[in-house]
A and B are shown apart, each in its own frame.
Chain A
């Protein structure tokens, strides 16, 4: 269906595509993946002639594409981009009908196609067809972006990180939908991503690229079993880190950066620490490092004296959680107790960390989008 033969592309002295040759069979869902700058997007855009290679030949449907009028070629190849690119001056219906209109379909037919396609992604024609893109959410817009690419039923659809700009929830839904659409419509799909999970979920075949070359072209199973290079293994590892949220424990969400003091510390020192760290409470430890409780600035004020040790103040018994406790249970505690945080304790009752609303948000972001640093 799509064949690359010794395709080369350079920008200045940088080699973008280095003698690339591969073959994509009809009906295959092929995912191009690799680190940024590896040439995956360039590869994709050479297929519909948005980028012209310096050397080599690309065949689509047996035809050498440099011999085909690019405008005609593109009408037979669906194209979805990351920035969605719905025309803001056109309604949803007009957007979906862009290619059929060029191909001189009749108005009624275009409307029928639009209706059918919107039905496939559970969007009501009556409700959305006459709206403008700006009135839709990002996820809805990209659904329409995909439908626009499918409208003239092209045998091939190119997708350039189509879900990259969407939030994780929407992305997951759209991934499912695109998988379904692929099975149902039997299109050849070439899909660029940098998200290995997405690749593993969707692909029949993954092409892993690095510096303009194919490092490995294999099925997801094969690639998981025998990654051809350390870089691929690294990509896989990163993606496998994002585990099932149900299995996360308090340890995954806590901040280990806790300010704690022993009971024998003087109150004056404690207030100093609190002022310097901009916090209004301290975790108090017994002499054997085990957790004793929490003292807030209010407690100190109530105590009245700044002489003596912090141990003289009766510490507040803050809510605690075991380090191996399920993260969800810890959250429930946090929300139901009214305390500002949950103190996470190790098995020996020493303090491991705290879960505050902030640390929770950071950890969630980490899990969803990878390391936030």
Chain B
């Protein structure tokens, strides 16, 4: 209890900052990934080259990436958010792309045959059918981002990572847990939120499929 008296306020602020990083970067990442995924699904022959290139990005350690961005952008939240957004893109992009590509050709043909324009086909047939996959990607990105956001503290930008870093530096288990447990709770909470979103977004007719 003494712990909360000492750190309570800081913990709440850290939680809020952490959540802010996660939500903004996932939102930005989602928007970019969705558009990119749709574009790539129109040109699968190029996507076969582009997707692996993008996945290389994913393998650059977060610390390195944030470090590099820090050099150019400085110690501002935008550094953290843009780095996290880049990492958030890939799972959603991949799931959007495969989700769209996995749609059975018969639906596309039927849509065309019914006189739907390509845009209508995308909006009314393809995206609804790919929505389970897209949402799954969103969930993955969100959970990853919660843990990556810990890195923000590395360049002194707060978040729950602060507690973890200080805890490690001062060999204080309590502090480490004070950072880790709320992170886990955040990940679970956001994941539940996405479940709700899924129920809203995924059309009833295909819900039983997966």
Which A58-114 residues have C-beta < 8 A from chain B?
Answer: 71-76, 79, 81, 83-91, 98-99, 102
Determine if B204 and A132 form an interchain contact, defined as CB atoms under 8 angstroms apart. yes
Known contacts A81-B106, A102-B120, A134-B208; decide if A87 and B113 are in contact (CB<8 Å).
no
Determine if B115 and A83 form an interchain contact, defined as CB atoms under 8 angstroms apart. no
Determine if A85 and B106 form an interchain contact, defined as CB atoms under 8 angstroms apart. yes
Majority SS at the chain B contact face: helix
Interface residues in A, total, Cβ within 8 A:
27
Q: How far in angstroms is the closest Cβ of chain B from A76?
A: 8
Q: How far in angstroms is the closest Cβ of chain B from A127?
A: 16
- List chain B residues, Cβ under 8 A from A48: 113
Say whether B110 faces chain A, with CB atoms less than 8 Å apart: yes
Known contacts A81-B109, A84-B106; decide if A74 and B115 are in contact (CB<8 Å).
yes
Determine if B113 and A81 form an interchain contact, defined as CB atoms under 8 angstroms apart. yes
Determine if B125 and A87 form an interchain contact, defined as CB atoms under 8 angstroms apart. yes
Q: Which residue of B lies closest to A87 (CB)?
A: B125
Determine if A85 and B107 form an interchain contact, defined as CB atoms under 8 angstroms apart. yes
Determine if B205 and A134 form an interchain contact, defined as CB atoms under 8 angstroms apart. yes
Q: How far in angstroms is the closest Cβ of chain A from B123?
A: 11
Which B52-105 residues have C-beta < 8 A from chain A?
Answer: 104
- List chain B residues, Cβ under 8 A from A85: 106-107, 109-110, 113
- List chain B residues, Cβ under 8 A from A50: 109, 112-113
Determine if A98 and B114 form an interchain contact, defined as CB atoms under 8 angstroms apart. yes
Determine if B206 and A89 form an interchain contact, defined as CB atoms under 8 angstroms apart. yes
Which A30-60 residues have C-beta < 8 A from chain B?
Answer: 48, 50
Known contacts A89-B129, A89-B203, A89-B206; decide if A102 and B115 are in contact (CB<8 Å).
yes
Q: How far in angstroms is the closest Cβ of chain A from B120?
A: 7
Say whether A133 faces chain B, with CB atoms less than 8 Å apart: yes
Determine if B205 and A90 form an interchain contact, defined as CB atoms under 8 angstroms apart. yes
Chain A 230-247 near chain B by CB (<8 Å), digits 1 or 0: 000000000000000000
Say whether B116 faces chain A, with CB atoms less than 8 Å apart: yes
Known contacts A88-B129, A102-B120; decide if A81 and B205 are in contact (CB<8 Å).
no
Q: How far in angstroms is the closest Cβ of chain B from A69?
A: 10
Determine if A75 and B104 form an interchain contact, defined as CB atoms under 8 angstroms apart. no
Q: How far in angstroms is the closest Cβ of chain A from B101?
A: 17
Which B114-162 residues have C-beta < 8 A from chain A?
Answer: 114-117, 120, 124-125, 128-129
Say whether B111 faces chain A, with CB atoms less than 8 Å apart: yes
Say whether A148 faces chain B, with CB atoms less than 8 Å apart: yes
- List chain A residues, Cβ under 8 A from B209: 88, 134
- List chain B residues, Cβ under 8 A from A72: 115
- List chain B residues, Cβ under 8 A from A84: 106, 110
Could you say which of A76, A81, A89, A91 has the most chain B C-beta atoms within 10 Å of its C-beta? A89
Determine if B205 and A91 form an interchain contact, defined as CB atoms under 8 angstroms apart. yes
Determine if B205 and A98 form an interchain contact, defined as CB atoms under 8 angstroms apart. no
Determine if B114 and A99 form an interchain contact, defined as CB atoms under 8 angstroms apart. yes
- List chain A residues, Cβ under 8 A from B125: 87, 89
Determine if A74 and B107 form an interchain contact, defined as CB atoms under 8 angstroms apart. no
Instruction: Give the distance in Å from the alpha carbon of A83 to the alpha carbon of B105 in the complex.
Output: 10
Q: How far in angstroms is the closest Cβ of chain A from B35?
A: 21
Q: How far in angstroms is the closest Cβ of chain B from A142?
A: 12
Known contacts A132-B204, A133-B205; decide if A86 and B110 are in contact (CB<8 Å).
yes
Q: Which residue of A lies closest to B203 (CB)?
A: A89
Instruction: Give the distance in Å from the alpha carbon of A74 to the alpha carbon of B115 in the complex.
Output: 5
Q: How far in angstroms is the closest Cβ of chain B from A285?
A: 56
Determine if B114 and A102 form an interchain contact, defined as CB atoms under 8 angstroms apart. yes
Determine if B114 and A74 form an interchain contact, defined as CB atoms under 8 angstroms apart. yes
Determine if B205 and A83 form an interchain contact, defined as CB atoms under 8 angstroms apart. no
Instruction: Give the distance in Å from the alpha carbon of A262 to the alpha carbon of B111 in the complex.
Output: 67
Could you say which of B111, B116, B129 has the most chain A C-beta atoms within 10 Å of its C-beta? B116
Identify B117's interface contact among A71, A83, A99, CB under 8 A. A71
Instruction: Give the distance in Å from the alpha carbon of A99 to the alpha carbon of B111 in the complex.
Output: 9
- List chain B residues, Cβ under 8 A from A76: 115
- List chain B residues, Cβ under 8 A from A148: 114
Residues on B facing A (Cβ under 8 Å): 104, 106-107, 109-117, 120, 124-125, 128-129, 203-206, 208-209
Extra 9 A-B pairs, beta carbons < 8 Å, given A85-B106, A85-B110 = A73-B115, A79-B114, A84-B110, A86-B110, A87-B124, A88-B129, A89-B204, A90-B124, A102-B116
